[in-house]
Amino acid sequence: MKKLLIILSLFISYAYADFIGINPSQLQTKIDEKVKIIDIRTPIEWKETGLIPTSKKMMFFAPDGSYDIQAWLDQLATVIKDQNEAFVLVCRHGNRTGVVGEFLSKQLKFKNVFHLEHGIVTWLKENRKTVN
């Protein structure tokens, strides 16, 4: 049983190797390294909490849940120049970035996609700075 769990965990690690969840401390390191931060929340959410410093606003899901993948990918291409460039996705709780990150890494083969696990909520819980 233990061996099966080890093999399963290795498989899961490999399967999700291109999409990695990070915590606020790790995100701060990415910011210090000048990795691009992309906030996919809505304008109302940006106004409510502010943004993590250096974040680029790129709403993915509209407030009604609709989305335009091609328009968003076109916008992403203005910031992320190739599929090997590292970037971090941010949303409120990490659910939307989970969906978008999986799509980018699995379907479109982006290699260095990160997301803030549990979203900006964890950033704020640690009393970290936001900007308007």
Q: What is the pTM of this model?
A: 0.85
pLDDT tens by residue, 74-100: 999 999 999 999 999 999 999 999 999
Domain ranges of the chain: 18-125
Q: Residue 51: helix, strand or coil by DSSP?
A: strand
For 18-125, CATH number out of 3.40.250.10, 2.102.10.10, 3.40.47.40, 3.40.50.300 equals 3.40.250.10
| Res 43: pLDDT | 97
pLDDT tens by residue, 34-57: 999 999 999 999 999 999 999 999
The structure tokens 């203005």 sit at 78
- Cα dihedral angle (94, 58, 41, 60), rounded to 10 degrees? -80
In terms of phi and psi (left: phi > 0; alpha: psi -120 to 50; beta: otherwise), the region of 94 is: left
